[in-house]
Structure 1
Amino acid sequence: MTTVTTRAVGYPAGDLTMTGHLALPAGAGRGPAVLVGPEGMGLGDVERRRAEALAELGYVALAFDLHGGGRYLSDPGEMLARCMALLADPDRMRCVGHAALDALCAESRTDPGRVAAVGYGTGGAVALELGRAGAGLRAIGTVNGLVTGRPGEAENIRCPVWAGVGSEDPIMPPAQREAFAAEMQAAGVDWRLTVYGGALHAFHHPPVDHAAPSGVGHHPRHARRAWRDVVDLLDECLPVAR
């Protein structure tokens, strides 16, 4: 197994001090890097493990902060209120995303010309918004974060986009999926959408220690498939020299 090292990384984002989780692969040279965006609850152990799994594959990976101070919101009501406010403010999403991207690119092990962004839920929406802002990404992956942007701005996306969603997700229903597809297609983006049959919202996320809202549920088989789809996207667009 490849030796991975990790550390907390502090960085500013507007009026917040963020705390991300950086995972570094073995070696000393520069290499491709991946931003990992968390679900609306914020940076937790699941996102930390995902960053570490990507480092095992040879990527410099930064699981970024959504709420400041590395906060993880265990109260569903607080999480929903904070995320709805963030999702309604594209400029704020870009601030959060660009701050994390800058922190990742400032890492000496990162090749700043070879960076991708992968996110889940709200973190996936942030990854997409980075693309709409014209960030120089090699790939964007979003699971459950199929949020459409301001008219015409998807034309700024200059990399392939892969999206995954559960067929029974009430937060990302067919109308939302269709709007996302129409936005990507109209902008001429190289895009793909995978619908996982029978899966609810946050199907990729292991069960948490508080009661999940209606329409949210873990689907272990599709969670494994979605991870493989993310890795395949990175293998295609951001291969690691082996």
Structure 2
Amino acid sequence: MTVTTRSVSYPADGLTMVGRLALPAGDGRRPAVLIGPEGPGLNDFQRRRADALAELGYVALAFDIHGGRWFRDPQEMLARVMPLLGDPERMRGIGHAALDVLLAEPRTDPDRIAAIGYGTGGAIGLELGRAGVALRAIATVNGLITGRPGEAANIRCPVWAGVGSEDPIQPPAQRDAFAAEMQSAGVDWRLVVYGGAQHAFHHPPVDEDQEVLPGVGYHARHAARAWDDVVGLLAECLPLEVSPTRA
């Protein structure tokens, strides 16, 4: 399927964000997906996720979280990301700004929008749900961040979460807290633990010299499975005229 892509600039968090908008073939309205990146930021790998979803038939926006930057230095990344993860209003502001871009696209069906994200991007998707945004689905990979007490009750859609069993950044205690939050709020939730996988198991190395944090590592087999699980959630909650196949 032929897709059309373009960069979109928009303000958020005091920065000029630069996202990737991908449109499927045709000219009618389509269900749409927000795609949030990992802590280092938006790179070509994440942009290709938007393209892959557009090939399936979705309008897709891979949104930015660092004003066009992608952090190679893990410590520099953490210096920006950790305060962000501790501030739900900032996360919601970034998410709402991206959502506004997606809603401004004429091809977007405003009543059929999902949010998927990885790490920080997944946490932002969850915060949109906790803020009461009318999403059809939320998927978060390695972004199992619990919210402020009681706010999960505002989530009005299924939530799917994925994490590696050997992820020291999202340890069992954090998984349990996330599960308890979702369960107590009456959310339709699922949690998949990928055996043997570490943090950011879904993202291949950018280059051989890339410095990574301890407990971070790519797992090709589970990366493919997690993508299939996310696409399956979209097929369930944002069905297309033709059922999507694996990207």
**TM-score with structure 1 setting the length:** 0.98
- Separation of aligned partners in 2, 1:100 and 1:30: 18
- Please state if 1:178 is matched with 2:180: no
| Cross-structure match for 1:106 | 104
- Separation of aligned partners in 1, 2:112 and 2:211: 39
The one-letter code sitting in structure 2 at the alignment partner of 1:157 is: I
Deviations 1:73-106 (A, max 9, x none): 1111111111101000000000000000110011
Identity %: 76
| Cross-structure match for 1:131 | 129
The one-letter code sitting in structure 1 at the alignment partner of 2:8 is: V
TM-superposed deviation, 1:14: 4.2
The one-letter code sitting in structure 2 at the alignment partner of 1:47 is: Q
| Cross-structure match for 1:241 | 241
RMSD: 0.7
| Cross-structure match for 1:222 | 222
- Separation of aligned partners in 1, 2:110 and 2:185: 25
Deviations 1:9-34 (A, max 9, x none): 11121422211000110001111000
Following superposition of structure 1 onto structure 2, how do residues 1-242 of structure 1 map, counting pairs within 5 Å? 2-68=1-67, 70-209=68-207, 210-242=210-242
The one-letter code sitting in structure 2 at the alignment partner of 1:110 is: T
- Separation of aligned partners in 2, 1:94 and 1:151: 16
Deviations 1:53-84 (A, max 9, x none): 0000000000000011x211111111111110
Q: Secondary structure at the match of 1:41?
A: coil
Q: Secondary structure at the match of 2:186?
A: coil
- Separation of aligned partners in 2, 1:12 and 1:241: 34
- Separation of aligned partners in 2, 1:4 and 1:205: 23
- Separation of aligned partners in 1, 2:44 and 2:72: 13
Most deviating of 159-168 and 12-21: 12-21
CA contact (8 A) 2:25 2:57 kept: yes
TM-superposed deviation, 1:218: 0.1
Equivalent pairs, count = 240
- Separation of aligned partners in 2, 1:56 and 1:126: 24
Listed as ranges, the gaps of 5+ residues in structure 1 are none
Most deviating of 53-62 and 74-83: 74-83
Q: Secondary structure at the match of 1:118?
A: strand
Deviations 1:85-139 (A, max 9, x none): 1000000000000000110011011001100000000000000000000001000
The one-letter code sitting in structure 2 at the alignment partner of 1:115 is: I
Q: Secondary structure at the match of 1:241?
A: coil
Q: Secondary structure at the match of 2:149?
A: coil
TM-superposed deviation, 1:208: 2.4
Q: Secondary structure at the match of 2:26?
A: coil
